[in-house]
Structure 1
Amino acid sequence: MPFHLHFDESDLLRCRFALSPLWETQEAVRTLHRPGRHGYHLPWLRRIAEGAAGLDLGPLWALMPDGGHNPDFICPPPLGPLATFAEEIAAVRATDPATARADMALALADSPGGTHSPVGQRLLSDPAGAVRELADLLERAWEVMVEPHWPRLRALLEADIAFHSRRLAETGFERLLGEISPQLRWADSTLTVAGTRGNHSRVLGGQGLVLMPSVFVWPDVVGGHEAPWQPAVIYPARGIGGLWAEAAERTPRTLARLLGRARADVLCALGEPAGTSALAHRLSLAPSSVSEHLSVLRAAGLLTSRRYGHQVLYERTPLGIALTAQES
């Protein structure tokens, strides 16, 4: 069933892109619990298996009914386009207990038996304690499951935002939405998010909309946040199919012989735009070495660069794309 977001002129002026490490954390928790999402993330699941086994994520899973309401206070809209996890989890810890209780009650009501389960009763009976417990769980999940991989994830999310920001300038808001996902439709100043549970409507009332790419939300598109939070649409980021691939898995041998293994790995790792530090982390190379390789590849006409926020993003030129498409 669809979720309808009704815009006026002021809402269109307040649409923005953002990424959220907190959102990725709670979606990583959800992905761990849902085998249908495992396809692209099996390498990640293997890497985090030991650490995740030591986490008691039951209270979070109890608040994540499949297709039902999920508490907005555990993943509020990001404070800015590049908010840190520390900033976001501080906002969770500051949630008013009465607000948290009402939010949790909606989620538990959408899960069969959730309201009267031992976990549900405990959370509802002490909402202030529940806020602390859930924030602590999210922080631990971040440290174990997401933070070690955040440079790689952030690079992909920032590349998605850079790409879609450019497409917004080139094609306009209506066409951009269709390119982001076929589940998004625009008509008569209303954005419809198809495939959600129930039939909901919300008048934005000048709050605008946050568009957030996500690694772990695949294959869904989610219409998030009820009043008073700013509404958001969370969609699968571009390029997640190659997110966990190692350099040796995508570098043709002939290209490695031509450019040298390390330089060819850098070129092939740029399936999506990325910065020096993210590439260094992904390829297990020193940032200084990656920077040198990027400079040579750019001088050879295989890469272009542009500034995005605090960093410079590199992407392949048509010649660079053609070289990486060669057979091994």
Structure 2
Amino acid sequence: MAFQLHFGERDLLRVRFALSPLWETREAVRTLARPERHGYHLPWLRRVKDAAAGLDLRGLRLLMPQAGYSPDFFCPPPESPVVTFAEEIALVRSTPLDAAHRDLALALAETPGAAESEAGRELLADPARAVREIADLLELVWHRLIEPDWPRLRALLEADIAYHSRRLAEVGFGQLLGELSPRLVWADSTLTVVGTRGDHDRVLGGRGLVLVPSVFVWPEILGGHEPPWQPSVIYPARGIGGLWTPAADRTPDALARLLGRARADVLCALDEPAGTTALAHRLGLAPSSVSAHLSVLRDAGLLTSRRHAHQVLYERTPLGIALAVS
């Protein structure tokens, strides 16, 4: 069984990366119920146990089968490289009712008897209510389970995109796919996602492809969407092995010997994105000194930087995370 996407020349020019807080929210729900995904996320699972127990997720899980189709309108592909949860959930709430009914019917058909169950009949009978309740529940999951950790998750996802964007420039699209996952195979202008349930072919027709890294999707690869949605592939982000490792109470001596005490302190202080002034205040150092250390750490591949409004924010790359928590 395989999922195949057929590329034309225009599609190769429209391959892009994006991250999605809504995808992380949905896949977090799936991760809660899938022991095979728990290995990298045990600290998070223990911490959110009580909050998750207070959520009635049965309606979402009915539409998220173990394998097979889940409604595309749950997680429309990101329209820009960086979107907010508010922007994405607003798009969910604006789903046309005919599209919602079609997606609901396709998802329920994956589970024998689901469409005939009381819950399934209610969803199909009133898609407007279904969209509203699903959006409300996804928003609740976001606020309780994901939003508190979003700076950490976002830093890792953005570091993944930065790394793979460089690799795309270095090795090209075909080789990059194999680096994203061994389940992605490129041959004869066709991307095949192997090991999926059912066969699916789609000619992209100039729409291109969105590549979306995910913290929670490991060890799977997800492919979609049905027209009219933008085709997408969701793949496991790099560096999730150290994602939930608690930061050390102080800078490790070995890291200080490797980088120098002040530079190592700067790296370890970046548990979430921060600017030069904030780091200087936190560490009691001169902003000029912190700026110099940040430049060296970034040049060494331990940090990435991005402009946000009037300031530049620095974040650890997966390598930087691994060194800081070692």
TM (norm. structure 1) is: 0.86
Equivalent runs, 1:28-107 vs 2, <5 Å:
28-107=28-107
Using a 3 Å threshold, how does the CA distance of structure 1 residues 302 and 131 change in structure 2: closer, same or farther?
closer
Question: Which string of whole-angstrom CA distances, capped at 9 and with x for unpartnered residues, describes residues 251-285 of structure 1?
Answer: 643435787988635435889xx7426x99xxxx9
Partner Cα separation in structure 2 for residue 4 and residue 18 of structure 1: 21
Partner Cα separation in structure 1 for residue 115 and residue 265 of structure 2: 52
Q: CA deviation at 1:219?
A: 0.5
Question: Are residue 276 (structure 1) and residue 274 (structure 2) matched?
Answer: yes
Partner Cα separation in structure 1 for residue 195 and residue 210 of structure 2: 19
Structure 2 counterpart of 1:289, one-letter code: R
Question: Are residue 289 (structure 1) and residue 282 (structure 2) matched?
Answer: yes
The aligned counterpart of 1:184 is: 184
Structure 1 counterpart of 2:47, one-letter code: R
Secondary structure of 2:137's partner? helix
Q: CA deviation at 1:114?
A: 1.2
Question: Gaps (5+ residues) in structure 1?
Answer: none
Secondary structure of 2:223's partner? strand
Question: Gaps (5+ residues) in structure 2?
Answer: none
Structure 1 counterpart of 2:239, one-letter code: G
Question: Which string of whole-angstrom CA distances, capped at 9 and with x for unpartnered residues, describes residues 132-163 of structure 1?
Answer: 00000000000001001000000000000001
Partner Cα separation in structure 2 for residue 143 and residue 262 of structure 1: 36
Q: Choose 150-159 or 257-266, whichever is displaced more.
A: 257-266
CA contact 1:177–1:184 (8 Å) conserved in 2: yes
Question: Which string of whole-angstrom CA distances, capped at 9 and with x for unpartnered residues, describes residues 29-83 of structure 1?
Answer: 1111111111111111111111111111110000001111010001001121111
Using a 3 Å threshold, how does the CA distance of structure 1 residues 104 and 254 change in structure 2: closer, same or farther?
same
CA contact 2:159–2:316 (8 Å) conserved in 1: no
The aligned counterpart of 1:267 is: 267
Q: CA deviation at 1:229?
A: 0.4
The aligned counterpart of 1:240 is: 240
Structure 1 counterpart of 2:293, one-letter code: L
CA contact 2:155–2:316 (8 Å) conserved in 1: no
RMSD: 3.2
Partner Cα separation in structure 2 for residue 63 and residue 261 of structure 1: 51
Question: Which string of whole-angstrom CA distances, capped at 9 and with x for unpartnered residues, describes residues 182-229 of structure 1?
Answer: 111111110001121111100001111000000000010111211110
Q: Choose 128-137 or 39-48, whichever is displaced more.
A: 39-48
Secondary structure of 1:16's partner? strand
CA contact 2:269–2:279 (8 Å) conserved in 1: no
Using a 3 Å threshold, how does the CA distance of structure 1 residues 113 and 253 change in structure 2: closer, same or farther?
farther
Using a 3 Å threshold, how does the CA distance of structure 1 residues 183 and 288 change in structure 2: closer, same or farther?
farther
The aligned counterpart of 1:201 is: 201
Structure 2 counterpart of 1:213, one-letter code: P
CA contact 1:276–1:287 (8 Å) conserved in 2: no
| % same residue | 64
Q: CA deviation at 1:312?
A: 4.3
Structure 2 counterpart of 1:241, one-letter code: G
Using a 3 Å threshold, how does the CA distance of structure 1 residues 202 and 172 change in structure 2: closer, same or farther?
same
Secondary structure of 2:5's partner? strand
Secondary structure of 2:248's partner? helix
The aligned counterpart of 1:115 is: 115
Equivalent runs, 1:137-152 vs 2, <5 Å:
137-152=137-152
CA contact 2:304–2:314 (8 Å) conserved in 1: yes
Partner Cα separation in structure 1 for residue 75 and residue 26 of structure 2: 7
The aligned counterpart of 1:226 is: 226
The aligned counterpart of 1:129 is: 129
Structure 1 counterpart of 2:108, one-letter code: L
Partner Cα separation in structure 2 for residue 309 and residue 188 of structure 1: 39
Q: CA deviation at 1:122?
A: 1.3
Using a 3 Å threshold, how does the CA distance of structure 1 residues 287 and 84 change in structure 2: closer, same or farther?
farther
The aligned counterpart of 1:171 is: 171
Q: CA deviation at 1:297?
A: 3.0
